[in-house]
Each structure stands twice: as structure tokens, then as C-alpha cells.
Structure 1
Amino acid sequence: MTRDISIIGLGWLGWPLAKQLMASGYNVRGSVTSIAKQQQLLAELPEMNVHCWQADEQAALPEALLAPVMIITIPPGKLSHYFLALQSLVSQARQHGVERLIYISSTSVYGGTGCCDETTPLQPETAQAATLVQVEQCVQQAGFMCWNILRPSGLIGPGRYPGRFLSGKTLDAGGRVVNLVHQRDVIGVIMALLKQPHSGIFNLAAPDHPTRATFYQQACQLAELPLPLFSDMNDDGKMICADKVETELGYHYQIHDLLLWLQQVAAGEQ
């Protein structure tokens, strides 16, 4: 099993992932898009190989960012021509000998309503989600020895406390369930995958799915913010089924109960 890993995008997810991998004995290199960010990360962890590079349809992938395993964590909003840039990146990675690619996508590729697992037909409802579907297809068709696509639900964790943008607002569909996953679990699943090299797609979502009304009102109450109001309790959304990581990888979610997690954050335990 290789210990050399490249992370394209040392951001909110990529940087703590890199630190966890290094702490676990992996050799890690990664990319940022500015000199200032590079200097900031190197000041925090001087032994990390941090390179300044931005994916683009015309940008050559530096040899310094090549490793047998590559993890792409770049979200669509970070690039103006996301699909073309990612298409070029994936193609170059394959051409230069990357053996395994892990791509972080999103459950937004499903759209629709009802329970969605990894076999659910994709129905992207936004241009951004449609672009993610294109990149996923590119990853699957590139010819890597092993590939994985992770589809996390809404991401929570350090700096991403839910409810602040909904505080005091009047909203509909309070009966929709919440689909969220903690940063710690996304990293945990990646760590588990690296020990079990087989291709596949995995949804990521905390097994607990409270309603929007219950979850966001409690989130705001615990943060001492004005509560959101819900004009109706309609449930016309989707629920992400994400137990495949448990049945196939033997992974157990660290943040299982979202309401309990809110209480732990408020108490300073998270």
C-alpha cells in the first residue's frame, strides 16, 4: 500500500485531511492557489510539501504534485471553468501515472425527492450540480487502476456552524429532513478507503435526519440567535442514505446524532 498522497486543494477539507494523513505516517504533498496561503500553511506545518498551483484547462500539472494516490477536494465555486479545469487535471493525472483518484463531489447530483442511495439515478437541478456529474463521469472513464467518488451532504465542522444564515428568517418546508456530514467523518471515510483499495461511489451523511424546523431552531436557540420561523411543515425534499460506508468499509460515523452534536458545540465539547 502506497504511503505517497497528493491533495489538490488544501482548503477547509484538504488541509485537516493532510494533517491527519501526515500524523498517520503518509507522505503528503498538496496545492494552494496563492503564495500567501502557501506561507500560512508552511508556518503552521513546515514539514508539509505545499505548492502554489491552480487547476486550469491550460495549466500543466507540476511533477511535484504527482503521487500514486491523488485526492481532489476543489469545490466548483473556486474555478470559473470548473469542468474543463478538472477534465484537464484528471487527464494529466492519468497520463502521468496516478494509480488511484479520490474525487470529492456532492449529493446535489441527485436532485429530486425521496430516499437517495448510490444507485439512485442522477437528476441535477442546478448548473453546478450538472457540472459535478460531468466530472464524476470523467473520473470513472479515465482508466485509473482504482477510483472513488465521495458525495458528502452539507458540510459542517470548524467554522461552519449551521443556522446562522437562517436565523430570524421565515422559511417553508420545515418538515424536510436535514442531510449533513461532519468534516471529521469525511476525513475518516477517506482514511478508511485508503486501507481498502476498491473502486466505487459513496454517499456521506450523518445517519440522523431531524427535520429542518427541529434542527435549525435548536441550532439558533443554542447559539442565542433569533429563531427561524417555518410557514409550513411540508416534506418535499430528499433523504440521503449513506450507510454503504458502514456496510462495505466498516466505518462508523463519529457524528451520528446531529441534535446531540449541536448541544456539544454549545457546551464547548466539539
Structure 2
Amino acid sequence: MEHDTLVILGAGYTARVVFPLASRRYVQVFATSREPAKNLPTVAPDQRLQFDLAQPDTWRNIPERADLLWCFPATPPEAVQQFAAAANPSSRRIGVLGSTSAYDVGRSTDYPPPWIDETAPVDLTKPRVRGEEFLRLHCGAIILRVAGIYGPGRNPVTWLKTGRVRPSRKYVNLIHVEDLAAICLATLERGIPGETYNVSDGSPRTWNEIFDWSRAHCELSLIAAPDVRETGKRISISKLTEQLGYTIQHPDLFKELLGL
């Protein structure tokens, strides 16, 4: 790898899985937080950095020429632009975790919904999307449009049990956090600056399918299903697998759910 230092901006759920993987590839890896001592107890003190996009005086804590993995929403756009101007992005490789919610599907009622690839329009009324697109177009950032993340401590069955979601015909796209972490590093190593890659396990499922499996295997009680007309999305990962050369390691959601 050309650069030897990585800074993970925002050390949340995904970043905690990225960190040990990155330590095998980079000479130095740092994680950031607004309150490093409080929020990064598992990170060695000399690998913690204070960083807050809203506090420009913390920006100087980011080492020059370090690669950046941006793990929190790139908003507000104005602060994103100001940070980019101060961060000398031309000397870095930058990966940004976005969301498949960026895609503007309009009022389509097609069912099943059409496959969405990276050429689909994005909703620039969303501040996060504007921030991501600024980083992509002006800083060469690589944007990952990430599906719903699951893994240890994030179980879709629990989402159904707690009523966070309900069974419906709506399609959902998911990605195991270990795949996402590996894709983040593959992106920094092999991704093309200024490109966008969809990130999912490649197998969209409906909430009805996940609910039916959960009732059979996890003793989930019957849940009243509302009349949901939303179609959801079906996210294509052809570009990820063909251009980036990544093979999904956790393609079978239901097999993975048995182990959570």
C-alpha cells in the first residue's frame, strides 16, 4: 500500500471492526472521536485523536498525508468543504461511508423494484449527500453507498421483535459488518478516486421473508403486518465485485443470523 498511515474519522460500529484489520495493512492506524478518552477505551492512547468536524481547532490533529476513512455522515456540507480545504486531500486516499438512501427512486411503483446501480440519480436535497458528492467531485473521495449493516449486536431479528421494522413486501438490502470492514480497506487499496461503489451482500430480501424465517427459527411471535405499499430498493453490487474484485464473505443472511 502506497501510504502507511490511516485515520478513521468517527470510530463507531463499523470502525471498531475496521481498526484491527487496518492494523495488519498500515504501519500506523488512528481512530478519532470528539472525546477520545471516553469513547475509545479499546484503542491505545497513542492511537486516539480528538476530532470534531464542528471544531476547526481539532482538524490539525489529523496527520498530513494520512489516508482517511470517513465513517460518519458528511454533514453539514459547509463544514465538510472547510475541512477539505484545510486537509490537503490531493495527498490522501479518502473513503467515505455513505448510504443507499442517497438514491432517489422517485415515485416508482414497479414491483419487484428495478435494480439500482451507481449511475442512478442521488437526492441532492439531503445535506449528507451534498457533502459526499463534494468530497467525491472535488477531493477524489471514493463513496461507498452502504446498505443496512448487521452483525454482532445488530440483529435484524431484534429489529422485528422490538417493532423497529414490521413484516412487509418492502425490499431491504443488508451487509455484514465484517464484509463492510474488508470492503473499506479494499476501497482504499484498489478503488478508483472519484468513483462510487454500492455495498450490499447482493441478495435483497423482503421483510416478509426475514420475518417468516425468524418465526420458524427464532420463535418470533406473530406480528400484525401493516399494508405497506413501499417497494424498497434492490441494490446492484456488480461494480463492487467486478471492478473492485471483492467477493462477499457473508452472502447468506439466514446462516449468519443463526450465529448472532
TM superposition score category, shorter chain reference: 0.7 to 0.9
* Alignment partner of 1:242 is 2:237: yes
| Residue in 1 that maps onto 2:79 | 85
Q: Which residue of 2 aligns with 1:101?
A: 94
> Which residue in the other structure is 1:164 paired with?
158
Q: Tell whether the 8 Å contact from 2:117 to 2:235 is kept in structure 1 after alignment.
A: yes
Residues 61 and 84 (structure 1), Cα distance of their counterparts in 2 relative to 1, 3 Å cut: same
Aligned with 1:134 (options 125, 130, 136): 130
174, 179, 183: which is aligned to 1:185? Answer: 179
Distance 1:120 1:39 in 2: 37
Q: What pairs up with 1:115-264 in 2 under 5 angstroms?
A: 115-123=115-123, 130-142=126-138, 144=139, 146-167=140-161, 169=163, 174-199=168-193, 200-219=195-214, 222-232=217-227, 236-264=231-259
SS, match of residue 260 in structure 1: helix
SS in 1 for 2:156: coil
How far off is 1:158 after superposition? 2.1
Following TM superposition, where does structure 1 have runs of at least 4 consecutive aligned residues deviating by more than 6 angstroms?
170-173
SS at match of 1:198: coil
Please list, as runs of the form range in 1=range in 2, the aligned pairs for 1:56-75 lying within 5 A after superposition.
Answer: 56=54, 58-75=56-73
CA gap of 1:66–1:6, structure 2 versus 1, over 3 A, is farther
Cα distance in 1 for partners of 2:208, 2:183 equals 29
Q: 1:57 Cα deviation (Å)?
A: 6.1
Question: Which residue is equivalent to 1:50?
Answer: 48
Alpha-carbon distance, 1:23 to partner: 2.5
Would the alpha carbon gap of residues 118 and 8 (structure 1) be closer, same or farther in structure 2, given more than 3 Å must change?
same
Q: Quick one: distance in 1 between partners of 2:41 and 2:121?
A: 42
Whole-angstrom CA distance in 2 between matches of 1:38 and 1:233: 39
Alpha-carbon shift at residue 83 of structure 1 (Å): 2.7
**Displacement, 1:205?**
0.8
SS of residue paired to 1:195:
helix
User: Given that residues 167 and 223 in structure 2 are in contact (C-alpha distance below 8 angstroms), is that contact kept between their aligned partners in structure 1?
Assistant: no
Rate the CA distance shift 1:261–1:197 in 2: closer, same or farther, 3 A.
closer
Residues matched between the structures, number:
251
- TM-score normalized by structure 1? 0.81
Give the whole-Å Cα distance in 2 for the aligned partners of 1:171 and 1:106: 18
Task: Report the alpha carbon displacement of residue 39 of structure 1 after superposing the two structures with TM.
Answer: 5.6
Distance of aligned partners of 1:56 and 1:211 in 2 relative to their CA distance in 1, 3 Å threshold: same
Q: Does the 8 Å CA contact 1:57/1:84 hold for their aligned counterparts?
A: no
Amino acid aligned to 1:116:
I
| TM-score (structure 2 length as normaliser) | 0.83
Identity of matched residues, %:
22
- Which structure is higher in RCO with an 8 Å CA cutoff and minimum separation 6? 2
Root-mean-square deviation (Å): 2.8
* C-alpha distance in structure 2 between counterparts of 1:229 and 1:169, whole Å: 10
Whole-Å separation in 1 of the counterparts to 2:172 and 2:97:
20
Query: 1:169 offset after TM fit, Å?
Result: 5.0
Which stretch of the first structure deviates more once superposed, 210-219 or 232-241?
232-241
Match of 1:17 in 2: 18
C-alpha distance after superposition, 1:203-257 (max 9, x if no partner): 1011122221111343465444434332447562211112211010110011112
Inter-CA distance 230–195: structure 2 relative to 1 (3 Å threshold): same
